[in-house]
Structure 1
Amino acid sequence: MKIVFLFILAYLLGSLQSGVWLGKIFFNKDIRQFGSGNTGTTNTFRVLGKKPGIAVLFLDILKGTVATSLPIWFGVSINPLWFGVAAILGHTFPIFGHFKGGKAVATSAGMLLAYSPTFFIYSASLFVIFLFLTSMVSLSSMLSAIIITISTIILPLIAPFILAKQDSLLIILAICISTFIIFRHRENIIRIKAGTESLIPFGLYYKKKHNEAQ
């Protein structure tokens, strides 16, 4: 019963829609009605601004971290990644939001933070590098997901100080999550191909497009 309770708790944690609630409470605005209509960090940045976006990013990461830590805190002998998955499902299909949520990138990062802080830093660094190169959150998220998945296999062999061992569950989950992230970004892929994807005011590609427009 304890395991079932913790799984439910992890899902409910993931279901907390910080972007929606923050927008309604402090800005009298439902972010689901603006921008991409997404409830996650990127659309919060787009609709509400920088500070609310940072707050939601922190809270979405925290959801994954707390959920993944639950079995450790409560002495349950089960791979903590399963509880991270429950939080990811909650974020993507939230019971508090009619099962329409975000794309689970930040919550997945929070799961990695609880599982392996060094691998989280490595993964976050990949995202920042791709973001600097592409100026697109969507493309950076997809590229990072692919490289992170490959890294779960090869890093324990070549850089165990980053990821100590191969974990078959981590590898399987990385494949599933990266596939899911790409699937959830299918509309972004269409816009990227058409050259109409939104850019953030940061990075080399943004600078290039900004210079071309002048």
Structure 2
Amino acid sequence: MLFNLVELIRGKLMPAEGSAAMGLLYAGGVLLCIAVGYLFGSLNPAVLVARVGFREDIKRAGHGNAEATDIASAYGRKAGIITAILNFGKGVAASLCGLLIWEMNGLALGGLFALLGTMFPCFNRFRGGRGAEVMAGMILAVSVLTTGFPIVFLLLLLIFLIVIIGTRFLSLGVIMVGVFYPLILRGFSGAQAGLCLACAVLTTLFVVARHWDCMQRIWNRKEPQLKFPWNKKKED
């Protein structure tokens, strides 16, 4: 059995079922999972990459709460990949911290609020990114711990690749992952996913809302498209 902070405290204090003390303990567990996840999400790896790798203050450079794509444009592909990996790890770490606080309930809350912290970070006046890499890290953690295998993550990765290769819209790939996430999770984990499934539905809503401007640009044919090697050959 994994370490579980809430159950550990419950075992020490032994509050009666349905008592005010039990309610306070569970409320404290919820708040701690939310706080840890949100603070993880509010940390921006792009700031670290810019400062350590290029000795530059990313905010003064005009990139704000830059995402991996912005970092790649400013400092090169390698810096962008490092930023994306750190963001992915942030989603995994926040989910696992939540797991240690309150098992599957904490896993769900930690991951969701890491995503919200990335979108609305307290360290940057609540102006953040779209959270694609953090969502991917959260999905990997939830997939492994609810089904015992990263099947949900792998299927969503396949959907993502099919969409971006077929349409060349990176944002559309992220949106489709958000939309299919709760459906695939429900299919492979069943009702036992519990709060993870509820948080997956909320993930869909926040991802779609955060990408609403991208959807409008796609509809108006103004969204930039990716350029793959085979596309470049056709253009030449």
Question: What TM-score, normalized by structure 1, do the two folds share?
Answer: 0.79
Specify the alignment match of 1:169 in structure 2.
195
1:30 aligned partner: 58
Which one-letter code corresponds to 1:129 in the other structure? I
Partner of 1:132: 165
Matched, 1:113 2:113: no
Q: Distance in 1 between matches of 2:219 and 2:33?
A: 42
Which of the two has higher C-alpha Rg? 2
Aligned counterpart in structure 1 of residue 67 of structure 2, from 33, 40, 43: 40
Q: 1:10 to 1:171 in 2, by over 3 A?
A: closer
Deviations 1:117-168 (A, max 9, x none): 3122222222122121121211111122222232233x23xxxxxxx33324
Match of 1:86 in 2: 113
Q: Which residue of 2 aligns with 1:186?
A: 212
What SS does the corresponding residue of 1:20 show, helix, strand or coil?
A: helix
Q: Is the 8 A contact 2:38 2:117 kept in 1?
A: yes
1:95 is aligned to 2:95: no
Is 2:65–2:129's contact at 8 Å kept on the other side of the alignment?
Answer: yes
Seen in structure 2, the aligned counterparts of structure 1 residues 77 and 177 have a Cα distance that, compared at 3 Å, is closer
What RMSD, in angstroms, separates the aligned Cα atoms of the two structures? 2.6
Partners of 2:65 and 2:124 within 8 A in 1: no
SS at match of 2:129: coil
The percent of aligned pairs where both chains have the same amino acid is 26
1:89 Cα shift?
Answer: 1.7
Matched, 1:143 2:176: yes
* 1:9 Cα offset (Å): 2.4
**Total equivalences in the alignment:** 199
Please list the CA deviations of residues 19-72 of structure 1 after superposition, one character each: whole Å capped at 9, or x if unmatched: 2342344343637835xx662223333333321111111111111111111143
Change (3 A) 1:89 1:39: same
1:17/1:97 contact within 8 Å kept? no
Aligned ranges for residues 66-81 of structure 1 at < 5 Å?
Answer: 66-74=93-101, 76-77=102-103, 79=105, 80-81=107-108
The verdict on how the C-alpha distance between 1:183 and 1:71 changes in structure 2, with shifts beyond 3 A counting, is: closer
Q: TM-score normalized by structure 2?
A: 0.72
Aligned to 1:161: none
Separation in 1 of the partners of 2:170 and 2:72? Answer: 11
d(CA) in 2 for partners of 1:172 and 1:136?
28
| Cα distance between partner residues in 1 of 2:177 and 2:35 | 29
Cα contact 1:88–1:107 (8 A) shared by 2: yes
Structure 2 unpaired stretches of 5+: 1-24, 145-149
